[in-house]
Amino acid sequence: MNTLRFKRWNFTSDLAPSAVLSLKNECGIYVLEFSNGEQYVGQTIHFPIRLAKHRRTYPDIIAINFAEVPEDNLNMAEYSEIQRRRRSGILLRNKTLLAQPLGDSPLDDLIDQQEQAAWLDVAATDDEEIHIGGRAEVARGRTLSNKKFDQLQQQPSFEEAINSLAAYVAYVIPYPHLTEKKTWTVTAMPSTNRTSTDKRVATLSVNNVEMMYLRLVRDYENGDWTPLTILNVADTYQAPPYMRDYVYSHSYRSAGPVKVVSIMGDFLIKELLMDDAILLAARELALGQMRKGTTMFSKYHNEALSDAIFKRIDQWIDDNSGLY
């Protein structure tokens, strides 16, 4: 591939992109330069929007570079530029798939490896990265009858549960319409570990590991049911002081050690994923499990609930509201 022709601007993270950039074509490859000499290579179809999010993540940007590239060529151009700069000895902040299960994966047939690697780099809650194909149209075109889903709809916390599940599917699972039932599944009102004072509302699993589940816990004195959010993320997550009371370590046979975020009071997956560190740790764990192959839980997948999830994501996209 031909060497890209970049235009360079001096830039600091306290500047608004509009104060520096004036682009006719915002689609292309960009390079961020940092004060310690490191760089970051990325692709985007809307560079000013992407830069606005990066400047909140990286306070030490000193310059930006941008080269126009057609959308169809972005993946190869980004890959080539990353390799070119690495060969020249430049230290890049880009994450790769090196932390994921090595070798080929069935997931590579659905999602290109570079797309998977980019999923670990993309700015948190970047709506342009959500791809659900025509899955919402499929959901709107049918009405599925399901006893478990009907029970879920009767719960007073139904809307919050759908928001939490939709946020996870949209922002943690890459191309969820391609990987549904293959690498991830969702269940409604599962009987797992149910007692008279503790019941699950919904569980989302990737491969064969529960990534998140929503519970209702009953108070012994007044009998009220209180929502409880459980979110598993990669063990690399380092909780800041204000989160340490809500995070503990756990281990799964197939996933190894993880960090568990547990918060009582509401279903808060949507709010938790606003935190860049939590979102990226959730993606790291989920992608690692997706690369291990297909799930054994396909027969338990609740398509009525999944339809509701994709319709909610599509609503966010149409309203341009996302997580915010």
Write out pLDDT tens, residues 176-185. 999 999 999 9
137 in the same domain as 252:
yes
89-116: average pLDDT: 75
How many CB atoms are located within 10 Å of the residue 289 CB?
25
Distances (CA, A) of 16 to 24, 31, 73, 172, 312: 18, 17, 28, 28, 31
Q: Are residues 70 and 132 in the same domain?
A: no
Whether 195 has a pLDDT exceeding 80, the answer reads yes
247 belongs to a structural domain: yes
Q: If you average pLDDT over residues 128-157, what whole number do you get? A: 90
User: Does position 278 have pLDDT exceeding 90, yes or no?
Assistant: yes
**Among 43, 76, 94, residue at a domain's last position:** 94
Residue 112 counted as domain residue = no
Residues 133 and 60 in one domain: no
CA distance 106 to 292: 8
**pLDDT over 70 for what percent of the chain?**
93
56 shares its domain with 182: no
The more confident residue out of 187 and 54 is 187
Residue 116, domain member (yes or no): no
Confidence band, pLDDT 50/70/90 cuts, at residue 324? low
Q: Is residue 2 part of a domain?
A: no
The answer to whether residues 136 and 67 belong to one domain is no
User: Which has more pLDDT, 165 or 45?
Assistant: 165
Same domain as 142, residue 85: no
- Which strands, in side-by-side order, build the sheet including 184-188? 184-188, 198-206, 209-218, 225-234, 256-264, 247-252
Q: Is residue 43 part of a domain?
A: yes
Residues 34 and 156 in one domain: no
Q: Which residues span the domain enclosing 167?
A: 128-319
* In a domain? residue 115: no
- Choose one of 94, 120, 139: the last residue of a domain: 94
- Comparing 318 with 243, the larger pLDDT belongs to 243
**Selected residue with higher pLDDT from 114 and 13:** 13
The whole-number pLDDT of residue 32 equals 95
Domain count, the chain: 2
Q: How far apart are CA 268 and CA 165, in angstroms?
A: 10
| In a domain? residue 165 | yes
pLDDT at 210: 95
Half-sphere exposure of 26 (CA within 13 A, CB side): 13
Do residue 155 and residue 49 come from a single domain?
A: no
Q: What is the pTM of this model?
A: 0.74
Query: Is residue 111 in some structural domain?
Result: no
| Average pLDDT over every residue of 205-231 | 92
The conformation of residue 122, written as its DSSP 8-state character, comes to S
268 shares a domain with 199? yes
